[in-house]
């Protein structure tokens, strides 16, 4: 006993050394049996937090939709196009009449049908995305943009599986924000 009537940490532990040898708790036949069970427990205890984290993220199952969102700033300030926008540059140029396109942010979400995802946009705005269903090779997606106390603007969009749609015209600085939204199912 240590001063103050408290046992040392080694005396309280299930595993401790006694005279230079491993002392095994009562109920185990030998050191090998105890160590086998101890290491199995340790392995399980190490995996448990990973399982808990994974449980918070929906699996990419039959009713899951992978959503990609690129937040783009379009303006007539300059003539550059962000190299990260190569996959949607042609679509941007044919839909909008700006000379400069800069990717501000990129997000990827996996959501089940009916499950909402939230993305914070520049200017204090919030983008809400919720897959509503999968029909005939298309994804039905509820898109809502909220700004401050204003009522949100809601749109229901139908995208081809793996397709990208551009949602634009949100005023920002001297140009607009454009959202390139992609939806894909397994």
Q: Is the pLDDT of residue 147 over 70?
A: yes
Q: What is the pLDDT of residue 53?
A: 37
Do strands 64-75 and 175-184 pair parallel, antiparallel, or not at all (unpaired)?
A: antiparallel
Continuous H helices in the chain: 9-12, 31-55, 89-95
Q: What is the mean pLDDT of the chain?
A: 78
Bridge partners (DSSP) of residue 156 are: 142
Q: Return the minimum-mean-pLDDT range out of 11-25, 65-79, 126-140.
A: 11-25
Find out whether 108 and 57 touch, Cβ atoms under 8 Å. no
Q: In this prediction, what percent of the chain has a pLDDT beyond 90? A: 60
pLDDT digits (tens, 9 = 90+) for 62-111: 689 999 999 999 999 999 999 999 999 999 999 999 999 999 999 999 99
Q: What is the mean pLDDT of residues 129-154?
A: 93
Task: Give the confidence band of 186 by pLDDT, cuts at 50, 70, 90.
Answer: confident
Q: pTM for the complete prediction?
A: 0.67
The rounded distance, in Å, linking the Cα atoms of 83 and 77 is 17
């Amino acid at each position: 006993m240590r001063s103050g009537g408290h046992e040392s940490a080694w005396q309280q532990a299930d595993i401790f050394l006694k005279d230079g040898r491993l002392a095994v708790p009562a109920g185990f036949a030998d050191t090998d049996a105890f160590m086998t069970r101890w290491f199995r427990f340790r392995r399980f205890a190490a995996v448990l937090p990973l399982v808990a984290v994974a449980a918070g993220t929906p699996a990419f199952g039959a009713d899951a939709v992978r959503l990609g969102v690129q937040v783009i700033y379009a303006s007539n300030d300059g003539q550059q196009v962000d190299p990260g926008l190569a996959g949607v540059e042609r679509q941007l140029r044919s839909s909008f009449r700006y000379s400069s396109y800069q990717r501000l942010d990129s997000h990827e979400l996996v959501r089940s049908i009916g499950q909402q995802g939230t993305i914070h946009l520049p200017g204090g705005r919030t983008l809400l995305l919720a897959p509503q269903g999968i029909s005939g090779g298309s994804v039905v997606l509820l898109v809502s943009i909220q700004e401050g106390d204003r009522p949100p603007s809601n749109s229901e969009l139908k995208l081809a599986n793996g397709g990208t749609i551009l949602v634009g015209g949100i005023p920002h600085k001297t140009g607009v924000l454009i959202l390139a939204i992609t939806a894909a199912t397994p």
